[in-house]
């Protein structure tokens, strides 16, 4: 291979920031690594996305304990990907909340996704042997649910498909803070290997219509002004739309996947190549876009073997 597979060569630890966004909302971010949101209500705490391993989740817990000793009663999963969910066992006695679509995806492809993601990004799986197995939600909802954490209203919503079919956002209506999961990224390349690319822009419209004052993206720094929130949503939209249109145009012209990848890489590199994990994500992104533009409505299951074969084929074309 002409370069390290996915993010196997990314070994540098990232600086963690734990910042308060509003009365109740906090963001745990780490220079483009997966983010975690925290909501401190009057009587309990909710975590939004659990990190990849219990060891990594314990660092989040340490940050939470620096601001409150209230019990962590809820862990909400924005979607099913391993780097978001497999640390949940560190939150003992907490309810695990997920959409029905996310639950179904864990059943269908959770084990394969775990192996796929670990092979692609081993640094994110610190102390991987501490993972007891797949994370299973204890509360499953359809479309939306509302929790009251004392006087703090928390709305858990599906606003449409995008990054996965189970995408879930968490909204604090009184404080206008949104935790978007990977539906919105900021300075980080969207991973679209399990995406619904034609649906994603409309889902972003639904996010924008909520007019968040602050937003915690799936990756990248917390967005704390209406201007940066708009930038995060628009940047994600630009990448998704341009990537998909490039792939569709190539496929419609009769190009094979390898040639489409090379053309799309060249088209996107000048504007997006500096974003975190650009080289990691783009082969997966183009593969899914090629499938979807050819009529494959639901994403194929990624396995460690499929990852490696795809990467080899597309990187050979690029070299």
**157-212 pLDDT per residue, tens:** 999 999 999 999 999 999 999 999 999 999 999 999 999 999 999 999 999 999 99
Helix (H, G, I), strand (E, B) or coil at 38: strand
Name the CATH superfamily, with its identifier, for domain 17-318.
Answer: Ribonuclease Z/Hydroxyacylglutathione hydrolase-like (3.60.15.10)
> What is residue 1's predicted lDDT score, i.e. its pLDDT?
40
> What is residue 25's predicted lDDT score, i.e. its pLDDT?
98
> What is residue 297's predicted lDDT score, i.e. its pLDDT?
97
> What is residue 123's predicted lDDT score, i.e. its pLDDT?
87
Please, are residues 35 and 218 in contact by the beta-carbon 8 Å criterion? yes
The whole-angstrom separation of Cα 233 and Cα 172 is: 18
> What is residue 6's predicted lDDT score, i.e. its pLDDT?
56
CB atoms near residue 319 (< 10 Å): 9
List pLDDT tens digits, range 234-249.
Answer: 999 999 999 999 999 9
Average pLDDT of 67-75? 98
Residues facing 214 on adjacent strands: 177
List pLDDT tens digits, range 100-135.
Answer: 999 999 999 999 999 999 998 888 898 999 999 999
Q: Tell whether the model's pLDDT for residue 13 goes beyond 90.
A: no
User: Which has the minimum average pLDDT: 1-5, 33-37, 198-202, 250-254?
Assistant: 1-5
Domain ranges of the chain: 17-318
Helix (H, G, I), strand (E, B) or coil at 266: helix
Helix (H, G, I), strand (E, B) or coil at 169: strand
Which is higher by pLDDT, 2 or 81?
Answer: 81
The whole-angstrom separation of Cα 11 and Cα 31 is: 13
Average pLDDT of 271-277? 96
């Amino acid at each position: 291979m002409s370069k390290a597979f996915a993010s196997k060569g990314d070994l540098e630890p990232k600086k963690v920031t734990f910042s308060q966004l509003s009365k109740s909302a906090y963001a745990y971010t780490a220079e483009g690594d997966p983010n975690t949101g925290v909501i401190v209500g009057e009587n309990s705490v909710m975590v939004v996305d659990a990190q990849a391993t219990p060891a990594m989740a314990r660092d989040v817990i340490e940050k939470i304990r620096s601001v409150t000793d209230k019990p962590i009663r809820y862990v909400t999963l924005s979607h099913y990907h391993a780097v978001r969910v497999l640390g949940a066992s560190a939150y003992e006695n907490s309810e695990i909340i997920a959409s029905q679509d996310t639950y179904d995806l864990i059943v269908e492809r959770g084990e394969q996704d775990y192996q796929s993601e670990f092979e692609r990004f081993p640094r994110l799986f610190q102390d991987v042997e501490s993972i007891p197995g797949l994370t299973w939600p204890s509360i499953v909802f359809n479309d939306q649910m509302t929790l009251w954490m004392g006087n703090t209203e928390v709305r858990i919503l599906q606003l449409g498909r995008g990054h996965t079919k189970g995408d879930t956002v968490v909204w604090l209506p009184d404080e206008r803070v949104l935790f978007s999961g990977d539906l919105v990224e900021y300075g980080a390349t969207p991973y679209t290997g399990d995406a619904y690319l034609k649906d994603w822009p409309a889902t972003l419209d639904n996010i924008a219509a909520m007019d968040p004052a602050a937003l915690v993206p799936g990756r990248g720094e917390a967005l704390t002004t209406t201007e940066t929130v708009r930038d995060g949503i628009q940047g994600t939209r630009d990448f998704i739309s341009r990537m998909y249109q490039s792939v569709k145009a190539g496929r419609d012209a009769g190009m094979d996947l390898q040639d489409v990848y090379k053309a799309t890489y060249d088209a996107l590199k000048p504007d997006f190549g500096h974003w975190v994990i650009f080289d990691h994500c783009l082969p997966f992104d183009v593969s899914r876009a090629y499938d979807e533009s050819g009529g494959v409505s639901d994403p194929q299951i990624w396995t460690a073997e499929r990852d490696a074969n795809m990467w080899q084929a597309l990187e050979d074309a690029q070299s």
